[in-house]
Structure 1
Amino acid sequence: MNQTQIEFRNVSFRYADDQPWVLKDVSFTIRSDQSVAIIGHNGSGKSTIAKLINGLLFPDEGEIIVHGTSVNENTIWDVRKKVGMVFQNPDNQFVGTTVRDDVAFGLENRGIERIDMIQRIDSSLAAVRMKDYLLHEPHRLSGGQKQRVAIAGVLAIRPDVIILDEATAMLDPKGRQEILTTVNEVKQNHPLNLITITHDLNEIISADRVIVMNDGEVWLETKPRDLFTKEEALQSIGLDVPFSAKLANELKRLNIELERTPLDQKELLDALWTYHLKT
């Protein structure tokens, strides 16, 4: 049975009393069976949402419920057992001198037995294809490898929810693709909620649902494929669709209708081939 995992109830937030509101009366729910992308331009409030879910910040108004627990100063440690975060800069998360020590850190803090700890370290590093780097120093890894280790550290504590907060923003295209592949594999093989915070619409194609933020408010909730049909509206709030959707939208304006809006280049090629066979 699908249950609500995360709920925002009329949440408003600002960083200081004399500052503008970063979030304004935001409400949404995320079910336990969903992978959700939260997108928006810089300053739209999307990263603030991530910090509020994990209890790094608290709302000025409204309430946040995580797996049945209201997030507040008295419950943050219980909430953080259920929610893991991977930040934009993995160097800010490393505390161990080796990859193994770093993944072990969160487990030691939770008092996990050594036998269980060893098993979790091995399985989490295997899940992100970093088991061969067990004794490597984290700062000597590539950007993509560092983020994979950061994901392994979160996986090891077995949270109900993993939040990727602009986790690919500092990576080159190769590193970005490594992380997207890793994330998709993790989602397929582990029963957890995945929340992706990003401004890059190329990263949302595997999400079940998208929440679009604009100026601190929920602008739209929809599915990725439906979102990509709204190219002009997205451009008006500082976002743009991937190339495959952009080309499909342009073809539509030329009265060349594909069966559906493609999510990526493979779907675009398949749709063009299907159209060619029909004509």
Structure 2
Amino acid sequence: MEKSQIEFRNVSFRYHDDSPWVLKNVSFTIHSDEWLAIIGHNGSGKSTIAKLMNGLLFPQEGEIYVSGEKVVPETIWDVRKQVGMVFQNPDNQFVGTTVRDDVAFGMENHGLPREVMVERIQESLDAVGMQEYERQEPHRLSGGQKQRVAIASVLAVSPKYMIFDEATAMLDPKGRMEIMQTIRDLQSERSLSVVTITHDLREVTQADRVIVMNDGEVWMEGTPRDVFSKKNRLVEIGLDTPFVSKLAEEMKSAGLPLSREPLNHQELLEELWTLDSTR
């Protein structure tokens, strides 16, 4: 097994001994520098996967490895140095009275020297475009700004993996787009392995690979283009498809031959341009 990856091996989990299994024999690998999106409807098990990666929960069956190290209570602090997590509600992650204090908190817990902390605070806030808000009180920030600070707080401890668990669910469309752009930039600039957990298929087009969860099991796996091409199957398990995919399907039904499944508006326009130029 490669060291720079996360691996689930036949993982099953339930919250109580007499409750249904939330995850059932789940196996997959997250590779170094990969962006993996995990999607599914509410109750499909995707957020439980996020908590298992970070050691907030432990499986009843199976094994989880982070960079070759098994996730067990004895290794949990080493694992959490490598796996950073950004949750749906950033207010739940704030502990400091200022943005600066909040970004410093995780580094203090890891015992980093002050000079290192000062440098990383600046680097992390710069990375998410929040350097001007260093002395601001977190509760005075907008939803998108709060989420950026939450990301900076995780970045400051230099994780290998970053998990975004429904990180845009509470944001308006503009804030959602800004956070997704921030994630894209960070993933490319810092060579992070990124995991985005979501039920919104519009957010997965930038991912390298997609895992679709259904009823606690890995139901489908592939590139975003592969997954979006199976619209009818996604609808069967209660997942809506992006507007671009719906429009492309209508075009195909009308007899317009598309050469590929468009992932966004730009690709759809390119397909239309190609069709027009061949007529």
Q: Shorter-chain TM-score category?
A: over 0.9
Check the 8 A contact 1:165/1:198 in 2, yes or no: yes
Gap regions ≥5 residues in structure 1: none
Check the 8 A contact 2:25/2:217 in 1, yes or no: yes
Check the 8 A contact 1:66/1:79 in 2, yes or no: yes
Which amino acid in structure 2 is aligned with residue 13 of structure 1?
F
Alignment of 1:153-168 (within 5 A): 153-168=153-168
Aligned partners of 1:201 and 1:4: how far apart in 2? Answer: 27
Q: Which residue of 1 aligns with 2:127?
A: 127
Over residues 235-256 of structure 1, what are the superposed CA-to-partner deviations in whole Å (9 max), with x where a residue is unaligned?
Answer: 0001122111111122112221
The yes-or-no answer on 1:102 pairing with 2:94 is: no
The yes-or-no answer on 1:8 pairing with 2:8 is: yes
Check the 8 A contact 2:33/2:194 in 1, yes or no: no
Per the alignment, do residues 73 and 120 of structure 1 end up closer, same or farther by CA in structure 2, a change over 3 Å counting? same
- Under a length normalisation based on structure 2, what TM-score does the superposition of the two structures give? 0.98
Per the alignment, do residues 248 and 99 of structure 1 end up closer, same or farther by CA in structure 2, a change over 3 Å counting? same
Aligned partners of 2:74 and 2:250: how far apart in 1? Answer: 53
Q: Which residue of 2 aligns with 1:140?
A: 140
Check the 8 A contact 2:248/2:261 in 1, yes or no: yes
Identity %: 66
Aligned partners of 1:228 and 1:257: how far apart in 2? Answer: 17
Which amino acid in structure 1 is aligned with residue 16 of structure 2?
A
The alpha carbon displacement at 1:257 in A equals 1.4
Q: Which residue of 2 aligns with 1:59?
A: 59
The alpha carbon displacement at 1:259 in A equals 2.0
Q: Which residue of 2 aligns with 1:112?
A: 112
Alignment of 1:66-215 (within 5 A): 66-215=66-215
Aligned partners of 2:19 and 2:107: how far apart in 1? Answer: 38
Per the alignment, do residues 81 and 3 of structure 1 end up closer, same or farther by CA in structure 2, a change over 3 Å counting? closer
Aligned partners of 2:20 and 2:110: how far apart in 1? Answer: 38
Per the alignment, do residues 218 and 143 of structure 1 end up closer, same or farther by CA in structure 2, a change over 3 Å counting? same
Check the 8 A contact 1:8/1:64 in 2, yes or no: yes
Where do 4+ consecutive residues of structure 1 move more than 3 Å? none
Check the 8 A contact 1:229/1:249 in 2, yes or no: no
Aligned partners of 1:153 and 1:130: how far apart in 2? Answer: 11
- Under a length normalisation based on structure 1, what TM-score does the superposition of the two structures give? 0.98
Alignment of 1:237-252 (within 5 A): 237-252=237-252
The alpha carbon displacement at 1:3 in A equals 5.5
Aligned partners of 1:115 and 1:72: how far apart in 2? Answer: 32
Q: Which residue of 2 aligns with 1:21?
A: 21
The alpha carbon displacement at 1:228 in A equals 0.8
RMSD: 1.2
Aligned partners of 1:94 and 1:61: how far apart in 2? Answer: 33
The alpha carbon displacement at 1:115 in A equals 1.3
Aligned partners of 1:231 and 1:191: how far apart in 2? Answer: 31
Report how many aligned residue pairs link the two structures: 279
Which amino acid in structure 2 is aligned with residue 259 of structure 1?
S
